[in-house]
Amino acid sequence: MNENDEALYFLVGLIAFGFLILLLFGFAQFLNDFSHELKYLNSEIGRTSGEERRYWIRRRRQLWLSLIPFVKY
């Protein structure tokens, strides 16, 4: 193995590490937004009753289903 191969492996590793950091940051952001929305929906469910409560329960179900990649929230 020569110096060019070592430099190439180092650069590929550095790029992969940067991509992994960005991926983890994006996942943490998604998790934070998801839990914030879930807390809001649960508080609305606890606050309401009747037809309005069924609406918030439906929204919570949609939020959980949005974890499936092809389902929109």
Neighbours of 41 (CB within 10 A): 19
In a domain, 72, yes or no: no
Domain encompassing residue 17: 3-65
User: What is d(CA 39, CA 48) in angstroms, rounded to the nearest whole number?
Assistant: 14
In a domain, 73, yes or no: no
Q: What is the pLDDT of residues 40-49, one digit of tens each?
A: 999 999 999 9
In a domain, 29, yes or no: yes
In a domain, 38, yes or no: yes
Q: What is the pLDDT of residues 19-62, one digit of tens each?
A: 999 999 999 999 999 999 999 999 999 999 999 999 999 999 99
| Per-residue three-class SS string for the chain | CCHHHHHHHHHHHHHHHHHHHHHHHHHHHHHHHHHHHHHHHHHHHHHCCHHHHHHHHHHHHHHHHCCCCCCCC
Q: Which of 58, 67, 57 is nearest to 31 (CA)?
A: 67
In a domain, 43, yes or no: yes
